[in-house]
């Protein structure tokens, strides 16, 4: 009987496995359904739902199913879906997370004609130089940017004035000044910080902290791509700065305090400075219209160290729309048509969601130039470069996070943290 | 002889129905438990990236050798061991004490059962979210402890300090699961015949003697069940550690094996290495369960 049971169980397993393994391909000439996974953003949802309705009206045989996921969860949902060969037709994530899909042949090259361009070269020519580099492999372009973002420093003028500072003249230009000004702005109840001057965006080490190291002459990866964590002195100075910043140093902030960027919108005397992108303006407007209209906030350039050898600003990163290469040719074509249609509304994305699609047309438009502080972001973008992207970028970011946290929170000496970081990053690089 | 054959035939007939009824469960269990285990074992011998469409490279035991020589993996073993010992023993002891207390009181025991059990119905995400607010430097955690110890303004670094963050995960887990095990102990206590206590009282035993001589020996199967369940749950802990690290807590002190598996498989895309880790965790759990079963069978008590 046991044998019969085992046999039955195996038969059942075999019988149901196609249910899990199978994928559905649309017929070439039949109705087409496109699944479109993207991260939550209420402002985008509003306009993209309208684009879907308009697109479906002009393409009666195509249905678009838009599914939103949390911005922190979408990476693993897309990954597991692709692992099971059940990925969506269209998706977007940050380039650090998307690059692996290109190198592993999971996404289709852009169908320039379907996306509304006469050729691939005209498509490339219509975008800001270099903005398509992260999605270009062997001469083929694999994604179109939903947004290209860089960060500058937002300042709440009221908090500055409350601390007796003049925001127009006293705003920090160097990292040393960020610490000095923060010390004047911070309010503590014993050890507990109740108002911070500034705090970092801790999960995003590649975007905002690697440039700090680069200002001091260090590098994440050497130019030839063979050596990890280049320039010991630069890395040590950076780690010493972070050690000084944390609760065991001058106690100016910590990764365990609430996200500075989110607190900034509330304008409740919690935080004076936060690092974020142009898109923050849309979020301030949505969260706190009164603060947005008050004129009590401003944006200043990304600081540099006093002894900087490179004038580098925060890295910019892109979210690119990509199309699943495992779908039928008809689905891929329909997907690029829909992406092209959405991206033809660059000005509306900018006005409604405050995200920048890096087309030369948009960046030269009056709409962009008239956006508050767009000149600061443009200047910082010129000083910066694209964020490090590679198959192992998430792991590298985790290693830097470990080093920073160990000096800030666990009392590890910067030299020891650096040695650990270098060894682990090199091992990772050698294994690639 | 004929009668015996007939009886056997009825038994066989009935057993067929039994098998028919359990078959869906067996299929379900095979599909969602055995198949993933066997698949993980097979995958653990390959160098396989989640997104790669190329055939995975057979590497034999290399993934296991890498893990057993990796400081990162041994740190995960340490974090898991510290968490399991620091959580499962207090859970076992406290849930037994509270269960005995609740069954011994005449009024309000339903209220206590409900109050203790209510956190168990919350998801790990909700539990972690509640405790993240408590452990915030300006949250209730610092306020309570500072009021209690008279240490105004001290930040106890619940989520920042390496030691404190380990303690914090234990506190949340203890809070979340104690009610669940209390209910199991209460069910175990209810199954002990009242006549035994009555007989013991006639013989003049004290309450303390009743507990040590009757309750504890006869509750042994429940204790074994709770200890195995709580230990296995502690070894598989993930949600709280994951959510704490997502909120800025340092990863190394609470990088338990399951979180390492998740990060290796999902973040780093190394599914072969992650599979090897899950097989090692599976073996650890199997060994501890076997040891607990063996040790509990040595002095079984019946009534």
Shortest CA gap B244–chain A (Å): 9
Q: Does domain B69-297 have CATH number 1.10.3720.10?
A: yes
Residues written for chain B:
303
Spatial CA neighbour of A301 closest among A121, A175, A129, A162: A175
Average pLDDT of B39-67?
Answer: 95
Q: E strands, A28-179, where?
A: 32-39, 62-69, 90-94, 136-137, 140-141, 144-149, 152-156
Structure tokens at A406: 């160990």
Burial class, B13, CB count within 10 angstroms (exposed 0-12 / middle 13-18 / buried 19+): exposed
In this predicted structure, the answer to whether residue A294 has a pLDDT above a threshold of 60 is yes
What pLDDT, on a 0 to 100 scale, did the predictor assign at position B299?
Answer: 56
Tokens (6 digits) for A404: 């920073």
**pLDDT of the residue at A154:** 98
- Between A108 and B247, the higher pLDDT residue: A108
Decide if A72 and B246 are in contact by the 8 Å CB cutoff: yes
Q: Which of A409-413, B35-39, B49-53, B121-125 is the least confident region? A: B121-125
CB–CB of B15 and A1 under 8 A? yes
Pairing of strands A219-221, A140-141: unpaired
CB A109 within 8 A of CB A141: yes
Question: Closest chain B residue to A189 measured between Cα atoms?
Answer: B153
Please give the Cα distance from B238 to B227 (Å, whole number). 19
Average pLDDT of the segment spanning B169-191 = 93
Non-local (6+) Cβ contacts of B170 within 8 A are B83, B86, B87, B90
Pairing relationship of beta strands A271-276 and A192-199 according to DSSP bridges: parallel
CB–CB contact B138 A406 (8 Å): no
Residue with the larger pLDDT of the pair A214 and B209: A214
Domains of chain A listed by start with CATH number: 31-149+316-383 (3.40.190.10), 152-314+392-430 (3.40.190.10)
Contact A100 B269 (CB under 8 A): yes
User: For residue A19, what pLDDT is reported?
Assistant: 46
Interface test with A, best of B155, B159, B166, B259 (most A CBs within 10 A): B155
All structural domains of chain B with their residue ranges: 69-297
Instruction: Say what the pLDDT of residue B246 is.
Output: 87
- For A181-192, what is each residue's pLDDT tens digit? 999 999 999 999
Q: Which is higher by pLDDT, A267 or A28?
A: A267
What number is the ipTM of this complex? 0.81
Q: Is A3 exposed, middle or buried (0-12, 13-18, 19+ CB in 10 A)?
A: exposed
**B21-B22-B27-B32 Cα dihedral, nearest 10 degrees:** 130
pLDDT-based confidence at residue B55 (cuts at 50, 70, 90): very high
- Chain B positions touching A402 (Cβ under 8 A) are 250-252
Residue bearing tokens 């290469």: A325
- Verify whether the Cβ–Cβ distance B53 to A104 is below 8 Å: yes
CA angle A336, A39, A276 (to 5 degrees): 110
Distance between CA atoms of A327 and A333, rounded to whole angstroms? 10
- Quick one: CA dihedral B252, B254, B260, B263, positive or negative? negative
Provide, as residue numbers in chain B, all residues whose Cβ is less than 8 Å from the Cβ of A105.
Answer: 53
Task: Give me the residue label for tokens 């230009």.
Answer: A173
Given an 8 Å threshold on Cβ–Cβ distance, is A255 in contact with B248?
yes
C-alpha A59/C-alpha A330 separation (Å) is: 13
Averaged confidence pLDDT in chain B: 89
């Amino acid at each position: 009987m046991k044998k019969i049971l085992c046999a039955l169980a195996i038969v059942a397993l075999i019988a149901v496995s196609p249910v899990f393994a199978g994928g559905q391909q649309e017929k070439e000439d039949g109705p087409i359904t496109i699944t479109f996974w993207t991260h939550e953003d209420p402002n985008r949802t509003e306009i993209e739902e309208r684009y879907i309705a308009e697109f479906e009206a002009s393409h009666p045989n195509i249905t678009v199913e838009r599914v939103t996921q949390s911005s922190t969860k979408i990476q693993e949902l897309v990954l597991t879906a692709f692992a099971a060969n059940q990925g969506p037709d269209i998706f977007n994530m940050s380039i650090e997370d998307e690059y692996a899909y290109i190198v592993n042949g999971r996404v289709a090259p852009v169908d320039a004609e379907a996306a509304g361009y006469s050729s691939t070269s005209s498509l490339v020519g219509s975008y800001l130089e270099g903005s398509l580099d992260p999605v270009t492999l062997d001469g083929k372009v694999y994604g179109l940017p939903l947004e290209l973002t860089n960060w500058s420093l937002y300042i709440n003028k009221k908090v500055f004035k409350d601390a007796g500072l003049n925001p127009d003249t006293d705003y920090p230009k160097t990292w040393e000044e960020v610490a000095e000004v923060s010390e004047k702005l911070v309010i503590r109840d014993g050890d507990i910080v109740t108002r911070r001057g500034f705090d970092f965006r801790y999960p995003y080490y590649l975007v905002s902290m690697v440039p700090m190291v680069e200002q001091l002459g260090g590098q994440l990866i050497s130019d030839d791509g063979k050596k990890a964590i280049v320039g010991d002195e630069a890395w040590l100075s950076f780690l010493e700065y972070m050690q000084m910043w944390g609760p065991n140093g001058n106690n100016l902030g910590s990764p365990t305090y609430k996200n500075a960027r989110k607190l900034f919108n509330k304008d409740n005397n919690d935080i004076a400075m936060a690092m974020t992108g142009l898109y923050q303006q849309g979020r301030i407007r949505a969260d706190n219209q009164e603060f947005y209209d008050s004129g009590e906030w401003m944006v200043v350039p990304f600081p540099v160290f006093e002894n900087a050898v490179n004038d580098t600003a925060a890295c910019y990163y892109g979210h690119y729309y990509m199309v699943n290469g495992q779908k039928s040719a008809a689905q891929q074509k329909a997907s690029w048509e829909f992406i092209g249609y959405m991206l033809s509304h660059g000005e509306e994305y900018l006005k409604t969601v405050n995200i920048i699609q890096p087309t030369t047309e948009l960046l030269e438009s009056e709409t962009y130039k008239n956006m508050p502080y767009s000149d600061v972001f443009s200047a910082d973008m010129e000083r910066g470069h694209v964020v490090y992207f590679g198959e192992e970028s998430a792991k590298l970011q985790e290693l830097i996070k470990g080093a920073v946290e160990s000096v800030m929170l666990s009392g590890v000496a910067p030299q020891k943290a650096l040695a650990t970081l270098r060894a682990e990053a090199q091992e990772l690089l050698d294994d690639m | 002889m004929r009668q015996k054959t007939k009886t056997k035939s009825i038994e066989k007939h009935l057993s067929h129905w039994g098998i028919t009824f359990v078959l869906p469960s067996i299929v379900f269990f095979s599909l969602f438990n055995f198949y993933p285990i066997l698949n993980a074992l097979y995958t653990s011998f390959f160098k396989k990236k989640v997104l790669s469409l190329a055939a995975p490279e057979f590497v034999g035991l290399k993934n296991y050798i890498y893990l057993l020589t990796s400081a990162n993996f041994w740190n995960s073993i340490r974090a898991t061991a510290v968490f399991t010992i620091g959580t499962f023993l207090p859970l076992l002891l406290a849930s037994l004490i509270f269960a005995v207390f609740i069954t011994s009181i005449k009024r309000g025991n339903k209220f206590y059962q409900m109050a203790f059990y209510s956190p168990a119905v919350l998801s790990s995400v909700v539990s972690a979210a509640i405790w993240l607010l408590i452990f915030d430097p300006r949250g209730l955690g610092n306020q309570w402890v500072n009021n209690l110890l008279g240490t105004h303004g001290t930040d106890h670094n619940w989520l920042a300090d390496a030691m404190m963050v380990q303690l914090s995960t234990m506190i949340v887990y203890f809070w979340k699961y104690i009610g669940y095990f209390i209910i199991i102990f209460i069910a175990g206590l209810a199954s002990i015949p009242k006549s035994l206590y009555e007989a013991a009282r006639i013989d003049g035993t004290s309450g303390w003697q009743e507990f040590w001589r009757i309750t504890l020996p006869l509750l042994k199967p429940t204790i074994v069940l709770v200890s195995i369940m709580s230990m296995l749950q502690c070894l598989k802990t993930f949600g709280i550690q994951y959510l704490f690290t997502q909120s800025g807590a340092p990863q190394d002190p609470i990088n338990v094996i399951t979180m390492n598996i998740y990060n290796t498989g999902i973040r780093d895309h190394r599914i072969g290495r992650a599979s090897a880790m899950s097989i090692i965790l599976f073996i650890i759990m199997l060994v501890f369960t076997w040891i607990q079963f063996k040790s509990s069978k040595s002095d079984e008590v019946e009534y």
